[in-house]
Amino acid sequence: MKIIDCKVNHLTEPLGYKMDRLVFSYRVSEAAGKFQSAARIRVSLHADMREPVYDSGITENIDSLAHAVDMALAPRCRYYWDVYVRSDAGGEEAHSAVNSFETGKRDEPWQGRFITCTADETRHPIFIRDIALKDRVAAARLYICGLGLYEARINGVKVGNEYLTPYLNNYDQWLQYQTFDVTGLLAGDSRLSVELGNGWYKGRYGFHPEKPSYADDFRLLAELRIRYQDGSKDVIGTDADWLVTCGQTVASDIYDGEMFDATLPPTEPIQATPCDDDMADKLSERLSLPVTVHEAIEPLSIIKTPAGETVLDMGQNFSGIFRFRVAAAAGERVRLYFGEILQEGNFYRDNLRSAKAEYTYISDGTECVLEPKFTFYGYRYVKVEGVPDLRKEDFRGLALYSDITPAGSLVTGHALINRLILNTMWGQKSNFLDVPTDCPQRDERMGWTGDAQVFCPTACFLADCHAFFRKYLYDIHSEQQDISGAVPHYIPSFCAQGTPDAGATCSVWGDAACIIPWTLYLYYGDRQILADQYPSMKAWVDYITRLDGDNHAWRDIFHFGDWLALDHPAGGDDQVFGGTDTGFIADVHYANSAKILAQAADVLGEDADSHFYTTLATRIMDDVRSEFYSATGRPCIDTQTGLLLSLRYNIVENREKIQKMLVDKLAESNDKLKTGFVGTPLLCNVLSECGLDDLAYKILLNEDYPGWLHTVKLGATTMWERWNSVNPDGSISSTGMNSLNHYAYGAIVDWLFRHAAGLNPCEDAPGFRAVVLKPMPHRELGFLDAAYESAAGRYELSWRLHDDDRLELNILIPFGCTAKLYLPHAPADVEIAGAAREGEAYVLTAGRYRVEYGMVGK
């Protein structure tokens, strides 16, 4: 038996993260036993675990998914912790390795203040501090926040491996600082230098790009703490003693790219200037995960286009930067342009709208390796100018995204489905860059709440997203506080900027405030996320209730509705609205959010709230019934999405009737989908829940327009924003709003895990502690191998359809978990070694299972 994946607040060995509460978790593998019978968690200030400051004792009451500990933490302090587990197999026990976490500065004041550069230069400032070391360094930490973005170096070596620090949030409300262990970088007389870029803070960002998003000055706050081997200490904070020069980065912008002029000598250092308003009260330890390079992608080919351009084809659309070795003559310009698609064989980027997405380098004549510091691109193609002898080996695309650990994999015998899954994974990677964004390439790249909500279950199947979404949810809550509980369309929203869209809100998008926390609870089994978000969830539902008033005003405000669905009566390639009544969608989601809130209240023991919001949810659904259904329960809204909502939320009793209406509705369009952001994530799930798996498969496997595999067949390497983003002849359908890297429609991967593989989490045993397994084999897929590193442990589920209609199933259930397995098309007498029978279900506990039988009634 082994104890693995020991985490604090769902983070591995966190250094300098916000520790406003402590939740420990771990997983058990290679056990002979099936369940934990007792466990113990200890926390100590010492690596040998002596004199623990917390000791749970050996107890039955430790939940491996989430053990919350209430203890006071000191600033800048390293804590060690370990886990002991005993299983139900007599005498089996295990001790974890010793893990650690280290606090940041907590409430301690900063020794240093924000400084700025007063030089009248657009060239980016580099702040410098020379450090005379007094002895050999035992330990050193750098606490740092630089605005817009910063890159710190010690003796020329980059501090840490993160990009785009201090990350993206509403800077008017809070600022994150990072903590780095720099012990190994300090040697001899050392120089700490920090270059600043514009970033989201002072570059253009959002829908009002004519002005800086938050402020127009560079700022740096840093505190370097050194402990020497003789026990003495040094603390070096930013102050007027720091020097600042202007470097060779001449321009940087999230949308527009970067320009580096190596011919410019650094300016004469001048004294840094302390800022008047200190802003230090806004600082907090980080919640953002590190954004790092995850893949280095080799170009597929170099293309000479009909227009005579030289273009690198990376073979994959993704988001990130690049590393490019160049040797150009002094004064020569190298220019790179980034785009997602070729048009008529030529480089193209009109769908990026105003985002220039470029990189310019002016050579000083020496060979060098270029790598942007303060921008990122969403791209597959790079047009290269100024490099006559371009070689593939000189260029690497670097995929940048937040450190989300992969969790799920799913491979089938169907090549297009496999590519669809890969495209969805790339959609996630490309848009999980600190904030869940809509797209990574055009002048938007914003944290649209609706997109995040729609994709969240798929995201949690594909990767461990708890910590990633926790930061986003924290931001949602922060922003609600200034606008009476409303949830802005996108987070951060720059509300405090007084922009016209400040406080704009709508259903489905705003409902992210309830749906995402509940999804995280379901997938990770940690009630703390509900406790954290409870005020936010409540504020959202109460906001709707106030706005709704006595006249159902919520229905009547602007809602995006079934965004990008194909059934708007006016039609048209550029149409963005769907055909489903937006008031209906809004009210159903209002009731659903109230219901989720009531469920959260239940989990948290808020009984009065549970009763109140259950009653509210029931009343809203009653109102929905009386407004949108006939007296006999016939839906007035009979679009695909309308019928899907009816079934998904069980709004009326005559399910069979509505099911038939849905089947007929789909038949009207030859079983092709017309759904948008609301209906698409429901479509196959609802069909399967109605027992219509064959129809779900038919829609998924359709290779014509519109459908998932149609995009794959047209060569998509990521998910597209629109079903018709690219026409069958390869031409882009429109440029106003057309990204080739949006993840929302990747929501189908949730269905692949839950219905094709059949792995379903249960609300009454969240975190995959208990699951329902209902695999649904299909001849065209042939086989399916799924694995999922759930919060509770690793599940595996494989099915194979042999030629004679024999089905072979192989299943792994992790330690501490139970599953109810429903066999598809099985004769009544099938037995599974080691499993107990409970009606139609087989009850499985930890272990491997195999069953093979001839399918009946298929």
Q: Which residues bind ligand BGC (CB under 6 A)?
A: 438-439, 444, 448, 450-451, 560, 563, 737, 742
> Which of 223, 479, 721, 789 is an active site residue?
721
Comparison of 451 and 511: residue with beta carbon closer to ligand BGC: 451
For strand 157-158 and strand 99-102, is the pairing parallel, antiparallel, or unpaired? unpaired
For strand 310-326 and strand 395-402, is the pairing parallel, antiparallel, or unpaired? antiparallel
Q: How far is the CB of 344 from ligand BGC (least distance, A)?
A: 26
CA distance 792 to 789: 8
User: Rounded to a whole number, what is the largest CA-CA distance in the chain?
Assistant: 86
Q: How far is the CB of 564 from ligand BGC (least distance, A)?
A: 8
Cβ neighbours of residue 722 closer than 8 Å, sequence gap 6 or more: 564, 733, 738
Angle ∠(571,454,723) on CA atoms, nearest 5: 35
| Residue 444 annotated in active site | yes
Q: How far is the CB of 651 from ligand BGC (least distance, A)?
A: 25
Q: How far is the CB of 737 from ligand BGC (least distance, A)?
A: 5
Cβ neighbours of residue 810 closer than 8 Å, sequence gap 6 or more: 796, 797, 798, 799, 848, 849, 850
CA distance 588 to 559: 13
Comparison of 401 and 563: residue with beta carbon closer to ligand BGC: 563
CA distance 488 to 491: 7
CA distance 244 to 117: 7
CA distance 826 to 806: 10
C-alpha closest to that of 175 among 277, 292, 23: 277
> Which of 285, 444, 479, 606 is an active site residue?
444
Cβ neighbours of residue 323 closer than 8 Å, sequence gap 6 or more: 296, 369, 370, 371, 395, 396, 398
Q: How far is the CB of 450 from ligand BGC (least distance, A)?
A: 5
Q: How far is the CB of 563 from ligand BGC (least distance, A)?
A: 5
Q: Is the dihedral of CA 180, 181, 185, 188 positive or negative?
A: positive
- Residue 558 tokens read as 């602007």
Query: By three-state DSSP, how is residue 13 classified?
Result: coil
Q: Which residue is nearest to ligand BGC (CB)?
A: 438
CA distance 270 to 118: 9
- Report residue 380: phi and psi, to 5°: -120, -35
Comparison of 744 and 811: residue with beta carbon closer to ligand BGC: 744
Comparison of 381 and 563: residue with beta carbon closer to ligand BGC: 563
Comparison of 339 and 767: residue with beta carbon closer to ligand BGC: 339
Q: How far is the CB of 502 from ligand BGC (least distance, A)?
A: 16
Q: How far is the CB of 561 from ligand BGC (least distance, A)?
A: 9
Comparison of 449 and 519: residue with beta carbon closer to ligand BGC: 449
Comparison of 144 and 744: residue with beta carbon closer to ligand BGC: 744
Exposed / middle / buried, residue 150 (Cβ in 10 Å: 0-12, 13-18, 19+): buried
- Residue 678 tokens read as 């609301």
Cβ neighbours of residue 458 closer than 8 Å, sequence gap 6 or more: 424, 428, 743, 746, 747, 748, 749, 750, 753
Q: Is 634 in contact with 625 (CB distance < 8 Å)?
A: no
Comparison of 444 and 475: residue with beta carbon closer to ligand BGC: 444
Comparison of 438 and 526: residue with beta carbon closer to ligand BGC: 438
CA distance 200 to 677: 27
Q: How far is the CB of 177 from ligand BGC (least distance, A)?
A: 30
For strand 157-158 and strand 125-131, is the pairing parallel, antiparallel, or unpaired? unpaired
* Catalytic positions: 444, 721
